[in-house]
Structure 1
Amino acid sequence: MRTRLCMRKLTDDPGNLLAPVFPAYRQTLIEGRYVPDIQGRYFAAVFHFGDWLRSSGIGMRLVRHEHVCDFLQNHLPTCTSKRHTHSDPKHYRSALQLLERVMQAHGFAVPKPTTAIDAELQAFDIKMKQVWGYADSTRSARCRTIKRFLSKCFNSQRIDLANISPDDLERFILGDGNRGSSSARWISGSIRCYLRYRQLLGDDVSHLMRAMPTLARANPSALPEVLNDAEVAALLNAFRGDFPRWRRAFAIARCLIDLGLRSSEVAGLTLDDIDWDLGTIRVANRKGRRADVMPLLAPTGEAIANYVQKERPSTTCRNIFVRTSAPVGQPVGRRAVQATMLAAYDRLGWDRSRVHVLRHTLATRLLSAGTPMPIIADVMRHRSLSTTVIYTRLDTAWLTAVSLAWPGDIQ
């Protein structure tokens, strides 16, 4: 293993190949409120990368993502240069990822060349957004799946679906025999979506649709996991402790528990979505192209207001929930929302690993309170009642408790 060298960190490097980018890069670090030590580590990584580019004969205007990968994977592990500080590889990775964004934003980098597969995926992504209204995360995941499929079938050659055999399709979906049923169903669904897209373009893909393997589905009679009232109360109390960012964590929890929002919907909430006078909140449905206006419950509004007034960093970002670590003031992602709840599960000693259980819980509690199914569907923002039924499957004990006697004392 290469010995890490702790050498003097350069504060500037005017002769570096990437010197023209440094002012914009430094400003980005300052605006993101990166602490001085991290700024130094990031610049050391960028200086090192710039020296490697020059030694490799790569001009600044020719820098691409492939060069960053080559530097991180091939050069850095074997580098013994005494000119730079060799810090944690994750700092190098983060520093160069930020450098890529800055170079793209300020016109320093040449756009990545588009292959036939890249062009195909770009058009497919646009169609998924405009026609079917899929969420960003769903489109991204499906594009990754289809890219693997097309790369395996065509490599860099022209895409011609007539050259895909049923065996090719089945092998890719089922794998080498050790692929789980849920993964296979996801891959199958992605390919079906892609084939429908090609149908819209006028391609005959009927032979491929017929070749799609039939996959076993999860037991439809299985009841969804829900929390009882005591567990909901315990979960809310898990945010009452004294720990960093507890107001943000508690407000996130109330949005999930009280409103039944998805993690991505919580992350996407903005200050403009709340009408404090009317007591409503606008939720952009991340699984569709519409937005819904919902009542903002008092406990939820109080939690959000407490966070915004007392803990939220000063920032021009309009998202409600923002980062408190560098880059400070940028929107949190859905994974941060999920991590907030998983940390609460850990504090309670629970072994649960899903946040979606809170949506099931809200739907079940509404049904238990006698709320009509169409209203529950509105609260959950479902377009079909059949989807709501899945969320509200209840056990036999509950059905027995609410059942009515048959007229005429007939048992």
Structure 2
Amino acid sequence: IWSFIGRFLYLCLFAWLLLVLISASLSEFCTRTGQSESMAETSLNVARSAIRRFLFEMEDHGFRSLADFTQMNVNGCVTSFASHYAGGLGAAIYSVRVFLHFLFEDGVTDIDLSLSLPELVATRKMFREGFTESELEHLLEHPDRFTAIGKRDYAMMVLAAQSGLRACDVVRLKLDSIDWRTREIRLVQHKTGEPLSLPLEAESGNAIADYILHGRPDSTHPNIFLCHTGVIRPLDARSASGVVSKHMKLVGIPAKHRAFHALRRTFGTRLLQNEVSFELIQQLLGHRDMDSMKLYLSIDEQGLKQCALPLLSYGRVGN
């Protein structure tokens, strides 16, 4: 019994030391990657989660040291690791590949294990719809604009519907982000780090002004949109998405994987349907490249119908 207990304690100590070593390597990787700014903060958080899942998979396969890992072992772990991802597998494998290359450059592993992972992964694309005109109308009519929270919710949703801004950018808007004289919104996009200037529609401007003047709590926070419950603080992107989901549920609009970002898709699709040029849509949505436009092309039903080839009639030989 004492021999068994001693061996168990030894394995626990060994596993703990391994966990400390791996955690230190992962922490160092995240620190250096963040300092190099090669990944946005949100992408780095996704990468950290994927790498941790891969390391747990490695442990489940019985490996207690990265030094014992081979390229064949990596493939086996990744095969099991991939089963946890219904989507986003390409980003997860990319994160693991970058981490394994980091370990090689840092001298933790003798061989570059990243070479065993593919550079390209065939990912499943899910083309999610925006809102129909009727759904959007009902959604924007629902907030009670006689209350402070209703003014805030309406201003956020109508702004997103008329500007195509992401939730993370809407909640980060500052009081000085809007030039009321020129009717422009100026910001630096959180996702891309690129500056963006957009026209401010009259309805959006009036809604924001109504909230600032008659609904927004007195606060020294520079953010326009604030949380009204508990400690007064700026909203985050998850809370903004929750606002849209709440009103969708109360109005009776089916979810269909839609939330705040569906307002952005609605905006982009509407621009396409009005025959706005791809270059202008790219600028308004703040996309870095034209490939991002494929999503909006795929959900523009009317545009796709125009691309359909007619059925060719044919006659028999000799007719």
TM-score by length of 1: 0.60
- Structure 2: where are the runs of 5+ without partners? 1-18, 309-319
Partner-residue secondary structure (3-state), 1:392: helix
> Following the alignment from structure 1 to structure 2, what is the Cα–Cα distance between the partners of residues 180 and 331?
32
Gaps in structure 1 of 5+ consecutive residues = 1-113, 404-411
Q: Distance in 1 between matches of 2:58 and 2:127?
A: 40
Match of 1:373 among 268, 275, 278: 278
Q: Give the superposed CA RMSD.
A: 3.5
Name the amino acid aligned to 2:149.
Answer: R
1:255 deviation in Å?
A: 2.4
1:295 aligns with 2:199: yes
Matched residues, number: 285
CA contact (8 A) 1:181 1:215 kept: no
Counterpart contact for 1:274–1:281, Cα < 8 Å = yes
| Cross-structure match for 2:50 | 145
Whole-Å separation in 2 of the counterparts to 1:200 and 1:277: 53
In the alignment, which residue of structure 2 is the partner of 1:257? 161
In structure 2, what is the equivalent of residue 210 of structure 1? 116
Supply the AA of the counterpart residue of 1:339: G
| 8 A Cα contact 1:321 1:332, kept in partner | yes
1-structure distance, mates of 2:301, 2:163: 27
How far did residue 250 of structure 1 move?
0.8
Instruction: Report the equivalent of 1:49.
Output: none
Matches of residues 16-31 of structure 1 in structure 2 within 5 Å? Answer: none
Residue 245 of structure 2 is aligned to residue 342 of structure 1: yes
* Per-residue deviation, 1:284: 2.3
By how many angstroms is 1:393 displaced? 2.1
Indicate conservation of the 8 Å contact 1:135/1:288, yes or no.
yes
Q: Percent identity?
A: 24
Whole-Å Cα distance in 1 between the matches of residues 203 and 252 of structure 2? 25
Q: Does 1:386 align with 2:291?
A: yes
Cα offset, 1:387, TM superposition: 1.0
Please give the secondary structure, in 2, of the residue aligned with 1:388: helix
Q: Secondary structure, in 3 states, of the residue corresponding to 1:182?
A: coil
Give the superposition deviation at 1:201: 6.5
- Rounded to whole Å, the distance in 2 between the matches of 1:233 and 1:133 is 41
**Which whole-Å CA distance do the structure 2 matches of 1:199 and 1:380 have between them?**
39
Give 1:277's match in structure 2, choosing from 176, 181, 204.
181
Residues 135 and 287 in structure 1, CA contact (< 8 A), matched pair in contact too: yes
Counterparts of 1:336 and 1:298, CA distance in 2: 25
Equivalent residue letter for 1:263: A
Structure 1 position 326 matched with structure 2 position 230: yes
CA 1:245–1:168: 2 relative to 1, 3 Å: farther
Amino acid at match of 2:69: I
Q: CA 1:135 to 1:261, structure 2 compared with 1: closer, same or farther past 3 Å? A: farther
**Residues 226 and 360, structure 1, Cα contact 8 Å, conserved in 2:** yes
Aligned to 2:69: 164
Residue aligned with 2:276, SS = coil
Per-residue deviation at 1:397? 4.0
CA distance in 2: counterparts of 1:215 and 1:133, whole angstroms: 20
TM-score by length of 2: 0.75
Query: Does the CA contact (< 8 Å) of 2:129 and 2:262 recur in 1?
Result: yes
1:188 counterpart = 2:93: yes
Name the counterpart of 1:358. Answer: 263
